[in-house]
Amino acid sequence: MGRFKKKQREKKRAKRKRRGFNKKKGRTSKSAMKSPIKASKKSNNLASIKDVDQLINFAEKYKGTPYVFGGKSSMGFDCSGFTQHVFENADINIPRTSGSQAKEGSSISLSQARKGDLIFFGKSRSKVTHVGIVVSDLGEDIKMIHASSSQGITITNVSESSYWKPKINRVRRYRMA
């Protein structure tokens, strides 16, 4: 293993330690419980209304941030960099690319999509090209917040979009760490 990777791993461990993270038990310290989004005691799903609303509010703070190919910081995001950043804030580790994100989590039918779910797009089932975070409630038109290459971070009504609606590929739900 190269020095660079070893240093990255050490930095990650130190950051987790500062945040009170124990790999076997999850978060353990009182300071760690101040995280902006906490797991529900009833379920380890990102299903608690409070938690999901906090996740969406965090994502909405980035509205207007420019699109940057490969971007994963507040200086600019691409679609999967944005979803990874938002979920990382909720202590949910998801892969970096939209294709990899689409392979993990629980599969959800489009009719069951709700706030906090990831919605994926592509020309075929095997080719995922875009991802967004659902911001609408169950039973409403599907709206997502995502990194648009033309508008940056924005909210789009997928249900009314002649561009996005035919490209819907799948919906996934991730669990709290």
The pLDDT of residue 125: 82
54 and 18 housed in the same domain: no
Per-state percent for the chain, helix, strand, coil, to nearest 5: 30, 25, 45
| pLDDT tens, residue by residue, 94-138 | 999 999 999 999 999 999 999 999 999 998 888 999 999 999 999
Q: What is the pTM of this model?
A: 0.73
- pLDDT bucket at 24, cuts 50 / 70 / 90: very low
Say yes or no to pLDDT of 1 above 60.
no
- Number of domains making up the chain: 2
Write out the two tokens for 76.
């600019």
The mean predicted confidence, pLDDT, of the chain is: 82
10 Å Cβ neighbour count for 60?
14
The pLDDT of residue 126: 87
Q: Which residue range(s) make up the domain with 123?
A: 37-173
The pLDDT of residue 65: 97
Report the alpha-carbon distance of residue 93 to residue 109 in Å, rounded. Answer: 22
**CA geometry: angle at 137 spanning 136 and 138, to 5°?**
125
The pLDDT of residue 28: 40
21 and 60 housed in the same domain: no
> Average of pLDDT values for 82-87?
96
96 and 152 housed in the same domain: yes
The pLDDT of residue 152: 97
29 and 52 housed in the same domain: no
58 and 87 housed in the same domain: yes
Report the alpha-carbon distance of residue 98 to residue 105 in Å, rounded. Answer: 12
26 and 45 housed in the same domain: no
Q: 170: part of which helix (H) or strand (E)?
A: strand 168-173
Helix 49-60 with 79-89: angle, nearest 10 deg: 130
55 and 115 housed in the same domain: yes
Give the residue numbers marked as catalytic.
79, 130, 146
50 and 100 housed in the same domain: yes
